[in-house]
Amino acid sequence: MSLHCITLKDGADLDGFRRAVRWLMAEELAPQHIVWSLDGTPGLFGDDGMSSAPPISLPRSVARLIELGVCHRDPERYALLYQLVWRVLNGERDLLEIASDPLVHRIDTMARAVRRDLHKMYAFVRFRRMRGEDLERFAAWYEPEHFILETSAPFFIDRFRSLDWTILTPIGSMRWDRHELTFGPPTRREDAPSEDSFEEGWRGYYESVFNPARVNPTAMRAEMPKKYWRNLPETASIPGLIQTASQRVDAMIEQEATMPAKRMPERAIEAMWDQEPKTLEELNAIIAKAGPLVPGATQAVFGEGPKRADIVFVGEQPGDQEDIQGRPFVGPAGKLLDRAMKEVGIDRSKAYLTNAVKHFKFEQRGHRRIHSKPTAGEVKHYRPWLMKELELVRPRLVVALGGTALLALTGKSTPISRSRGRAQFGPYLGYITVHPSYLLRLPDEATKREAYEAFVDDLRHIHDLAQADPETGELPLAAE
Ligand code: URA
């Protein structure tokens, strides 16, 4: 019998292979009579009748192996997969159960390699913002080992549905424009943007989630082989992180910092609470162990400042940057607060800054974690911790920054515009003002400037009040 040549695309030509297999089986052409060619010009063999061949039915496990097998780089992949189909449909239906069969073993090994390659791609693709684009567009350069581009697409669409992204690889490119997926030709590394403002974001995130207590360079290299490093912004941090790991472990132990992933059962929290924390460290250990009420936060963000402080500033909840760095008021709102404090002479290092809610709550939109306002129930849940914090810090003045802080301190939801100014929060002298992020959200520069001036005025009063005589309430002479 003469040989038949089947030509498929040199890539993962699953459709072409399926069509060919249907036809070959209908013609009862055994594997030894077929030559599989991968010259990239499908249709050499002609399509005569191939498309109209009747469908065949294969066990699900075999179909899955084919889907993975066609992605492998091995030039013999189609020949091997056809041998598998031929044997399964000619009396060896349970062939896959014979792991010692050389063909099964070889195809299985290929499928495992493809699966591993997919996992690496899911983990190591890094999108970067493209320069000079009006609309937000992101691109990533990646070098897979096998032909996995199309198979990987559903994962990236699912993860980054609301972003306009392109993945460029030497085996082809794919673009998702938020609605449709299109494939393009192979690309070169130079076509992908190399660095941008995102770079810092990834690096900061990686540094914050890096756990120095677990450092194990060998395991790290196994999980993240060096060949992937040059595409990953965060790898610039690895040598430094390893070098400083032991100091960071010491600091971690000292601070009792933890990264809670799960929430502790309510009864366990109550049991810990019953022990009555006597120091901020004990209190923070409870907050850390309890974990976030709403899942998602990287870590609990504790109050920060001296153990005894004249002024406590209470915000709403940590934002994206605070969640990553594990410190309150370090993002854009924090920077604005710093600036205003400086203007009136409040020394941030002498004040105590905390939040009504200790974990970041957000909505994931593509790459971005969008702040989501805590509910009254969540504020209530965290309230005992805030009260304990105040009891331990014993400030002269407590400042509510915005409505959530005010709700936490008074149990009432009152508009800031109606309550702004001096107040009393239980035993504490209080002051109510806006949250700095409110200033950032104002629409135009003139309104922003005016609101900022009013905020600075509030801080001036706060500074004075904190220095007032606790007995008589008299302000220092300089403030008059
Ligand atoms: N907003 C807050 O309320 N707290 C922070 O720590 C940061 C932003």
Domain end marker among 140, 170, 191: 191
pLDDT of residue 220: 52
Q: How confident is the model at residue 296 (pLDDT cuts 50, 70, 90)?
A: confident
Q: How confident is the model at residue 2 (pLDDT cuts 50, 70, 90)?
A: confident
Average pLDDT over residues 447-461: 96
Ligand 1: nearest atom to the Cα of 315: 3
By the 8 A CB rule, do 269 and 300 touch?
Answer: no
Highest-confidence range of 357-371, 425-439, 460-474, by mean pLDDT?
425-439
What are the beta bridge partners of residue 208? none
CATH of the domain at 361: 3.40.470.10
Q: How confident is the model at residue 260 (pLDDT cuts 50, 70, 90)?
A: very low
47 Cβ contact partners less than 8 Å away, ≥ 6 residues apart: none
pLDDT of 250 higher than 50:
no
Domain annotation covers residue 299: yes
pLDDT of 409 higher than 50:
yes
Shared-domain flag, residues 171 and 206: no
What's the pTM value of the predicted model, to 2 decimals? 0.49
Cβ-in-10-Å burial (0-12, 13-18, 19+) of 43 comes to exposed
Q: Which of 301, 313, 314, 316 is the pocket-test mutation for ligand 1 (most atoms within 8 Å of CB)?
A: 316
By the 8 A CB rule, do 393 and 312 touch?
Answer: yes
Q: Single out the residue of 215, 193, 210, 71 nearest to residue 126, CA to CA.
A: 193
Average pLDDT over residues 325-337: 95
Span of 69-78, 183-192, 248-257, 424-433 with lowest mean pLDDT = 248-257
Pocket lined around ligand 1, Cβ cut-off 6 Å: 315-319, 322, 328-329, 331, 333-334, 355, 437
Shared-domain flag, residues 45 and 74: yes
pLDDT of residue 52: 76
Query: Domains in the chain: how many in total?
Result: 4
> Distance from the CA of 34 to the center of ligand 1, in angstroms?
67
pLDDT of residue 252: 42
Shared-domain flag, residues 308 and 240: no
Q: Domain range for residue 80?
A: 4-119
Domain end marker among 102, 119, 136: 119
pLDDT of residue 136: 72
Give the model confidence (pLDDT) of 174-210 as tens digits.
999 888 999 998 888 877 666 544 444 445 444 544 4
Domain annotation covers residue 458: yes
Q: Supply the DSSP symbol for 304.
A: B
Ligand 1: nearest atom to the Cα of 328: 6
Span of 4-18, 164-178, 285-299, 390-404 with lowest mean pLDDT = 285-299
Domain annotation covers residue 57: yes
Domain annotation covers residue 243: yes
Domain annotation covers residue 472: no
Shared-domain flag, residues 90 and 170: no
Span of 67-71, 98-102, 247-251 with lowest mean pLDDT = 247-251
Q: Supply the DSSP symbol for 292.
A: -
Shared-domain flag, residues 224 and 300: no
Average pLDDT over residues 115-143: 80
Ligand 1: nearest atom to the Cα of 405: 3
Domain annotation covers residue 480: no
Q: How confident is the model at residue 472 (pLDDT cuts 50, 70, 90)?
A: low
Shared-domain flag, residues 111 and 161: no
Q: Name the residue with higher pLDDT: 153 or 41.
A: 153
> Distance from the CA of 354 to the center of ligand 1, in angstroms?
8
Shared-domain flag, residues 243 and 322: no
Q: Name the residue with higher pLDDT: 251 or 358.
A: 358
Shared-domain flag, residues 447 and 306: yes
pLDDT of 461 higher than 80:
yes
Ligand 1: nearest atom to the Cα of 333: 8
Q: How confident is the model at residue 47 (pLDDT cuts 50, 70, 90)?
A: low
> Distance from the CA of 284 to the center of ligand 1, in angstroms?
17
- Average pLDDT of every residue of the chain: 83
- Single-letter amino acid, residue 185: P
> Distance from the CA of 319 to the center of ligand 1, in angstroms?
6
Average pLDDT over residues 147-154: 94
Shared-domain flag, residues 320 and 370: yes
Two structure tokens written together for 343: 């203007």
Shared-domain flag, residues 225 and 303: no
Dihedral, CA atoms, 453, 457, 460, 462, nearest 10 degrees? Answer: -120
Domain end marker among 191, 215, 234: 191
Average pLDDT over residues 436-446: 94
Q: Name the residue with higher pLDDT: 50 or 423.
A: 423
Shared-domain flag, residues 214 and 102: no
Ligand 1: nearest atom to the Cα of 356: 3
Domain annotation covers residue 264: no
Domain annotation covers residue 260: no
> Distance from the CA of 238 to the center of ligand 1, in angstroms?
29
Shared-domain flag, residues 320 and 432: yes
pLDDT of residue 477: 47
Q: How confident is the model at residue 291 (pLDDT cuts 50, 70, 90)?
A: confident
pLDDT of residue 27: 92
> Distance from the CA of 322 to the center of ligand 1, in angstroms?
7
